[in-house]
Amino acid sequence: MNPPVIEKVAQKILSENDRIAAALRASFLQRHILCVNLISSPGSGKTLLLEKTLEAFPKTERVAVLTGDIQTDNDARRLARYGFPVRQITTAGACHLDARMIEKALADWDLSTIDTLFIENVGNLVCPTAYDLGEEAKIVLLSVTEGEDKPLKYPGIFFKSDLAIFTKIDLLPFVPFQLDEAHENARKIHPGIEMIDLSAHTGQGMDAWTQWLAARKAKRHSACA
């Protein structure tokens, strides 16, 4: 298998990614843009959360979305209905977004018109973890239809995320998921992780999420002042 060669190439790819991500981060910082990178398994509710988030924003809000998928522009079409700029990144096989894809997708956008940039990563709880996209925060989503032990099984993404959102809590009465145990497992991996329990379907927990975003935006502005 020749691991040294593989390792060397992997390091080269990641260091090139880190260089582009650092430039993106500097650009976001300079323009006071809050950029968050949403990561989860397929079907954990990233797109629905973004739909409900966009729906609730005043139309004057300066928000934009980049959404990644291996194939289809289904998500971009779902998200474009709310009147904010949305762009699909189709990775054509790649299991994650990388910084170059973000750089390319933003190349013809006027960043001075954006305050908040949501990046919806490819549905994958593993590979996107390794790719810095220049975001201020990674956010991991875990649906209550998955298992409580997921933070222990996929520690990388819980360790790297500032916020864990437990989604689909309206389904809690119908599934054996123990929310307390899931919280505890997330804290075992990342003691300082923030957590929100939420149902985009019923709206429960949406306030906590929009408050989290507002606090992060305020912090960003004060840090840059």
The site for a copy of itself (CB under 8 A) is made up of 1-2, 5-6, 9, 12-13, 16, 41-43, 69-72, 74, 93, 95, 100, 122-127, 142-143, 145-147, 149-150, 152-156, 168, 170-171, 174-175
**C-beta closer to a copy of itself: residue 152 or 215:** 152
Q: Would you tell me how many other CB atoms lie within 10 Å of the CB of residue 129?
A: 21
For residue 72, the minimal CB distance to a copy of itself (Å) is: 5
Q: Min. distance of Cβ 131 from a copy of itself in angstroms?
A: 12
Name the amino acid, one letter, at 101.
M
Q: Is the dihedral of CA 126, 132, 134, 138 positive or negative?
A: positive
What's the min distance (Å) between Cβ of 136 and a copy of itself? 24
Nearer to a copy of itself, 102 or 125 (CB): 125
Q: Which is nearer to a copy of itself, 29 or 94 (CB)?
A: 94
Smallest distance, a copy of itself to C-beta of residue 109, A: 22
- Residue 176 contacts by C-beta under 8 Å, 6 or more apart in sequence? none
Residue number, 21 or 33, with CB nearest to a copy of itself? 21
Q: How far is the CB of 108 from a copy of itself (least distance, A)?
A: 21
By beta-carbon proximity to a copy of itself, the closer residue of 77 and 221 is 77
Nearer to a copy of itself among residue 165 and residue 213 (C-beta): 165
Q: Is 209 left (phi over 0), alpha (psi -120 to 50) or beta?
A: alpha
Nearest to 189 by CA among 125, 132, 124: 125
Least separation in angstroms between residue 100's CB and a copy of itself is 7
